[in-house]
Structure 1
Amino acid sequence: MKVVLSTLNAKYIHSSLALKYLKMACNIVNSEIVVKEYTINNDLLVILSDIYSEKPDIIGLSCYIWNIDMTLKLAGLLKKVLPKVVIILGGPEVSYDPLDVMKRNIGIDYVVQGEGEDTLRALLTALTSNTTIHTIEGLSFRQKEEIIVGKPQIIGIINTIPFPYRDSDMEQLKDKIIYYESARGCPFSCQYCLSSASSGVRFLNLDRVYKELEFFIRHNVRQVKFVDRTFNAKKEHYLPILRFLATQDCRTNFHFEIAVDLLDDEVLTFLKDVPVGRFQFEIGIQSTYEPTLNKISRHNNWSKIVENVTGIISNQNIHVHLDLIVGLPYEGYMQFEQSFNDVYQLGPHMLQIGFLKMLKGAGLRNIANECGYVFLDEAPYEVLSNDSLTYGEVRKLKIVEEVFNQVYNTGRFKYTLDFLIRLHGGNAFRFYHDLSTYWEEEQLHLVAHSNKSIFKYLLDFCSIHHEKEISVCQEFLKFDALMSEKGTIQPEFLSWNQDQWIEEKNEFWRNANVVRNYIPDYIFTTWRDLKKKYRIEVFSIDLLEYIKQPGKISYKKKPILFSYGQDNTQYQYIACDDFKKIEGRDYHAL
């Protein structure tokens, strides 16, 4: 028999870890197994044609909130063109209501519930040998006119599951995110998460983990994203893995979801010295409002979170990504504002504003009526309102999220945002709220934006709300532009001094002895090469003083030298004496 295992990923860069596990677990079955991955952006008829060309006897489809509607349509079409094919569904989106799914979709023959490696292997074995399926755990199936419903299964000893990757896989995965797990389960029971449907954590043997991580390093993978629910659930497991990875000679970045308040002094001391870019931490804060945290069965040690996040970020070697969720119980607009400001003041490299989804199998779905939840009937079941948050407020926060992603999470406006937020009395959320109001009034939420256009929007916003500071805002925008993307974004409306100070700049670059005070290995080659690597801009305010003493604005003309390395941008003042004085020019401000 020929088996096709398939799924529709959300994006091209994603890959399905589940299908790889299933294929390896079922290889012992007397069948040919082919894995076919698509995206939700592929044409449905193209996918249908491609799967049809495999002439499969059995098709397994992996179902998630982002693909369930399209997957069910695909399953129906496959049954039309291959009426004898056996269709099996699996994944979190069908594991908790298989009866409803099978009633509404008569072409579905089986639903594998929960962790599917053992269940699918047993099912394929039964189908290929014509033996009974009635004893298979974690399986829902049709028996004449009746649907027999099973229960989601959990594999107790995950070391029995084969490593899902092979050398032959890596070429086609070179442009995709590589997913990996060293453990399954979670020690917590947060009610918005599917982890609340089960308990306990199961770990892979450390020697196995080391060997498998060496596989990725050997293949020079750009990023490995651990899907462990809480990677640092057990110190005896996670710290040896971190120590192992820290000693490797590689370019690979490893992404972990962690509970940062579980980190102790030993771990924090170790993290200070890990190679830059080796680790990336995603930390779910979700809310800082205590009644909300209590309702969702989540405990945040806030003082420890502040201490640990601040310390990790200050080391400047680990990217820190923090998460908040809009729509949790009891957290109204004002409470979310406080949660946002609490988390924002930690200065994460990225802050994700997510919107609560009433996932099948999650505890919150059981108390939806109690909290007055209104949410989408179909996937992704996103919350529209509840007793504490109106739809209008959810809609407003959607625009805040879009604006925030454009200006903060891009990392392009670090100093401009700090300046504008100070003009808003230091209330970051109020600033983003006001910016989103401007955004909506200009209907910017309805159109796409170029990188340059965002600079213009911030300048226009400043001219409306802080007209007296518009010239200073321009200087911050210029500085941010030169600090990001090697200075390639230079919006023309920012009044660059490319045509000013030309003689002074040329004199500076011609004097190699002076330049070497700033660039020790400087050798003049060509003007074109010079422009690629460096930029001198004369600012009308003392920006570096502002950076050292935030909030202090001194009106002094200051030349700043930007040096563009392969991985970062450095900046430094050029001393007035080194920026040559030429007769007839006004230098009293320098």
Structure 2
Amino acid sequence: MQFLWFDINASFSHSSLALPALEAQLSVSQRERIKWQVVNGTIKSDPSTCLLNIIKFTPDVIFATLWLFNHNFVMSVLKKAHILNLDIKIILGGPEFLGDNYIFLRNNPEVSAVFRGEGEEIFPEFVESFLNFEEWKSIKGICFIDDSGLYHDKQTVYVNDFKKLTPPENSEFFNWDKPFIQIETSRSCFNTCKFCISGKTCVKTENIPVDSLRKRLNTIKDKGIREVRILDRTFNANPARAIELLSLFEEYSSYIQFHLEVHPSFLTPKLREKILKITEGLLHVEVGIQSLDDNVLKISGRKGSAGKSLEGLKFLVGTNKFIVHADLIAGLPSYSFKQLMHDLISLIDAGPDEIQIESLKGLPGTEFRENSLQFGIVFSECPPYEVLKTSCISTEELLMASYLSRLTDIWYNNPKWQLFLRKNVKLDNEFLEKFLHYNIENHSLNQTMSLDNSGLILYEFCEKYYFNSLGDLTEAWVIAGLSLKKKPATGVKKWKYGRDTALVNPLLINFNTKNTYYYLECSDKIIWFEFENTIRGAVPSKSVTVKF
């Protein structure tokens, strides 16, 4: 029998685990009776090419995983494939089907069925039914509409023994060519977040034994993979387990960097002690803040307090051992735009390497999606199901929140401007909001932004409203390696050996004709820059500040 997997990802760097995770559970006998074809691509691929590759294979069954980001692309191609071959059965799974699936199946009659839940244990049974031409629609987890128009829902499936699953890396379809791979060390979550698909389930968290993980990491290391992203919902849900895993990761500190998602409210003293001892650069830590308002967190079902989360974030940033990424969610119930702005300022003061502001999504199967009226949330009915308004934030304010997210990404998440932005936000709490409105009025955030343009916009804003900050911005401009002939570098002067003897150059230890020197006079200091003449457009090789 011919099975086709239609694998569409967000980008070429990403790779779905769905096919290898399922195929790894099949028996040798089942594999021998299946002829697989994988048609893969991204949401930017040519849909006509994808369609042609599907039709040429003439599959009996097409499988695909739907996420909010690939939903529209996948369905547009599969609808055409079914028109060209009415005998194809289309079976879908993934996060898009964790809620009620009647409306989807009614609106997409070309889809034979969708599967809801965790499929690894049930997939061999499902495949065996197909191979033996037996009835497969009675299998648990299957949702479908029969010929009479009646909707059938076979509940949600959960894996019974996560530890005994064959690892996805054992499948011939596991992709080792990507820059990073993903691993689950545990499944389920202790948290009850109402915006997350794990928030409604009370399934006990299961952990893969450390010895099993070590064998898998050895294989990963031998394959030359340098980055592993841990898919656990909350890495430190069990602090003792987290300490054990960090010790394991230390064994690969010379080979692999590990990405983790950490809840900052639950950093116990022993876990902090362990974190302080790990090798620099071993981790990349995602810190789920979501909101710094305790009432918002309570309504959202998120455990932990705002105060502990902010303190935990500051601890992680203060280690200076790894990149720290923090996030906020605009559109949560009772979360106003004013509070969002306040929380962003607090995060900027804490100083993580990156801050992301996401819009709340009404994901299928989540409590916020299923009880949106109760929580005063209006979601879009189409992927990505973004929040349109709530009882506390208007549609206009949500648009401003999206602009604020873009501003943060351009000027805070870029290390060239981050220190300047942090300093000025700390000096004036209104700096950020003024800068936001300035960009909205000038339509700056709707355009592609180069480093050069972002610096010019920031300079023009400060020239108008924060004149005393121009010296610091000019310094940031020069250190970024940007043109000394443009406006932000107007005050930068060239220092010439033998001519400017009245001005002592602190960088001139031994005169070197291969280097050139510039300086910027400010009200309370002089900033000196050294450039290597052989490298045009480069950042300064040295800089030093001399205060009066």
Which fold has the larger relative contact order, with Cα–Cα distance below 8 Å and residues 6 or more apart in sequence?
2
**CA–CA distance in 2 between the matches of 1:187 and 1:422?**
36
Residues 126 and 175 of structure 1, relative CA distance in 2, 3 Å threshold: closer
- AA of the residue aligned to 1:239: I
- AA of the residue aligned to 2:336: G
Residues 478 and 60 of structure 1, relative CA distance in 2, 3 Å threshold: same
How many angstroms does 1:134 deviate by? 5.0
How many angstroms does 1:248 deviate by? 2.2
How many angstroms does 1:514 deviate by? 3.6
- Match of 2:476? 480
- Match of 1:255? 259
- Match of 1:448? 448
* Candidates 517, 524, 533, aligned match of 1:555: 524
Instruction: Indicate conservation of the 8 Å contact 2:333/2:376, yes or no.
Output: no
How many angstroms does 1:168 deviate by? 7.1
Q: Secondary structure at the match of 2:363?
A: coil
Residues 319 and 84 of structure 1, relative CA distance in 2, 3 Å threshold: same
* Candidates 198, 203, 207, aligned match of 2:201: 198
**CA–CA distance in 1 between the matches of 2:540 and 2:189?**
40
**CA–CA distance in 1 between the matches of 2:81 and 2:380?**
27
- Match of 2:9? 9
Moved more, 388-397 or 143-152: 143-152
Contiguous gaps of at least 5 residues in structure 1: 517-523, 542-553, 576-588
Residues 419 and 95 of structure 1, relative CA distance in 2, 3 Å threshold: closer
Query: Is residue 322 of structure 2 the alignment partner of residue 318 of structure 1?
Result: yes
Instruction: Indicate conservation of the 8 Å contact 2:214/2:248, yes or no.
Output: yes
How many angstroms does 1:175 deviate by? 4.4
Q: Secondary structure at the match of 2:221?
A: helix
Query: Is residue 432 of structure 2 the alignment partner of residue 432 of structure 1?
Result: yes
- Match of 2:129? 126
Query: Is residue 110 of structure 2 the alignment partner of residue 107 of structure 1?
Result: yes
How many angstroms does 1:249 deviate by? 4.5
How many angstroms does 1:119 deviate by? 2.7
- Match of 2:396? 392
**CA–CA distance in 1 between the matches of 2:442 and 2:473?**
21
Task: Please show how residues 365-404 of structure 1 align to structure 2 within 5 Å.
Answer: 365-404=369-408
How many angstroms does 1:89 deviate by? 0.5
Residues 76 and 491 of structure 1, relative CA distance in 2, 3 Å threshold: farther
Identity in percent? 22
* Candidates 498, 520, 523, aligned match of 1:539: 520
Instruction: Indicate conservation of the 8 Å contact 1:8/1:40, yes or no.
Output: yes
- AA of the residue aligned to 1:495: A
- Match of 1:239? 243
Moved more, 229-238 or 59-68: 229-238
* Candidates 415, 422, 425, aligned match of 1:418: 422
How many angstroms does 1:491 deviate by? 6.7
Instruction: Indicate conservation of the 8 Å contact 1:26/1:117, yes or no.
Output: no
- Match of 2:80? 77
Residues 167 and 138 of structure 1, relative CA distance in 2, 3 Å threshold: closer
How many angstroms does 1:562 deviate by? 8.2
Task: Please show how residues 34-113 of structure 1 align to structure 2 within 5 Å.
Answer: 34-113=37-116
Instruction: Indicate conservation of the 8 Å contact 1:285/1:300, yes or no.
Output: no
* Candidates 494, 516, 541, aligned match of 1:500: 494
**CA–CA distance in 2 between the matches of 1:282 and 1:260?**
10
- AA of the residue aligned to 1:34: Q
C-alpha distance after superposition, 1:306-353 (max 9, x if no partner): 333222222211111111000111111222233223333211111110
Instruction: Indicate conservation of the 8 Å contact 1:272/1:312, yes or no.
Output: no
**CA–CA distance in 2 between the matches of 1:378 and 1:495?**
47
Task: Please show how residues 333-352 of structure 1 align to structure 2 within 5 Å.
Answer: 333-352=337-356
How many angstroms does 1:100 deviate by? 2.1
How many angstroms does 1:275 deviate by? 2.2
**TM-score, length-scaled by structure 2:** 0.89
**CA–CA distance in 2 between the matches of 1:499 and 1:431?**
29
**TM-score, length-scaled by structure 1:** 0.83
Instruction: Indicate conservation of the 8 Å contact 2:3/2:35, yes or no.
Output: yes
Moved more, 99-108 or 214-223: 214-223
**CA–CA distance in 2 between the matches of 1:505 and 1:71?**
68
Instruction: Indicate conservation of the 8 Å contact 2:496/2:517, yes or no.
Output: no
Contiguous gaps of at least 5 residues in structure 2: none
**CA–CA distance in 1 between the matches of 2:465 and 2:249?**
49
Q: Report how many aligned residue pairs link the two structures.
A: 536
Query: Is residue 168 of structure 2 the alignment partner of residue 181 of structure 1?
Result: no
**CA–CA distance in 2 between the matches of 1:452 and 1:309?**
31
Instruction: Indicate conservation of the 8 Å contact 2:194/2:301, yes or no.
Output: yes
